[in-house]
Amino acid sequence: MTESFIDELAATAKQDALAYRRALLGKSPRAKTAGWGQALPKGSGRGVSLQSAFGSYLAHVAEVEVSKEGAVRVRRVVCAVDCGTVVNPDTVQAQIQSGIIFGVTAALYGEITLKNGRVEQSNFDTYQVLRMNEAPAIEVHIVKSTEPPLGRSGTLRNRSVLRVSW
C-alpha cells in the first residue's frame, strides 16, 4: 500500500517511479547497475520491487520479455540487499539467488490444482520448478553496512512489484 502510494506521488510529480525513489534516498542511490531507464528490445519491460524481510531490506529490478506467442520469460534480475554486517557473503548471495528462482517459479508456474478434493502437486515431482535453462541472469549486490547482522526471524513485509515499464 505504501509503495503504491509512492507510485502515485511519482506519477503526480511526472517522474519515473525509480528515479523518484532514488531522489528520496539522497546521496545513497542503490539501483545504478540495474539499467533502469535504458532502452529495451520490443516486447520487454522492467519491474521494480522493494521488500523488508526478517530485518533486511531488498530492492529488485527484473527484466522480462514476452514472446510473439505470449510466453513470458524473466531474463535478468538485479538485487541490492542490506542485511547489516555480512558474515558470509556467499551464503547471502545463495539465499538471494534461491529466493529469486522460487519467486520466478511462483510467478510463472505457481498453480496448485485440486482433483477429487485433493491437491495434485504433492512434491517437486508434480510441481513445476524453474529449470536451469529458464533461469534469469542474477546479480546480487550486498550493501556494505556497519549495522548488526540481520536476517533474523521477523515479519515479512513484501512490497510486491511496484511498476513495470514497457
Tens-place pLDDT, residues 120-130 = 988 878 888 89
Percentage of the chain modeled with pLDDT above 90: 43
- pTM above 0.85? no
What the block records as the C-alpha cell of 27 is 546521496
Q: Is 73 in contact with 135 (CB distance < 8 Å)?
A: no
Of 60-74, 85-99, 114-128, 149-163, the one with minimum mean pLDDT is 149-163
pLDDT at 76 over 80: yes
Q: Rounded distance, CA 17 to CA 165, Å?
A: 10
Phi, psi of 124 (to 5 degrees): -70, -15
pLDDT at 159 over 50: no
Nearest residue to 165 (alpha-carbon basis) of 4, 8, 18: 18
Q: Rounded distance, CA 57 to CA 37, Å?
A: 23
Looking at the chain, the number of H-run helices and the number of E-run strands are 3, 7
pLDDT at 152 over 60: no
Max CA-CA distance within the chain? 58
Which CATH code for domain 37-165? 3.30.365.10
What the block records as the C-alpha cell of 163 is 511498476
Phi-psi region of 33 (alpha: psi -120 to 50; beta: other; left: phi over 0): alpha
A 10 A CB-CB count for 127 gives: 15
Q: Rounded distance, CA 61 to CA 100, Å?
A: 11
Burial class, 15, CB count within 10 angstroms (exposed 0-12 / middle 13-18 / buried 19+)? middle
Q: What is the pLDDT of residue 31?
A: 53
Q: Rounded distance, CA 13 to CA 10, Å?
A: 5
Angle at 14 (CA atoms; ends 10, 20), nearest 5 degrees: 35
Q: What is the pLDDT of residue 96?
A: 94
Phi, psi of 136 (to 5 degrees): -75, 160
Q: What is the pLDDT of residue 27?
A: 54
pLDDT at 140 over 60: yes
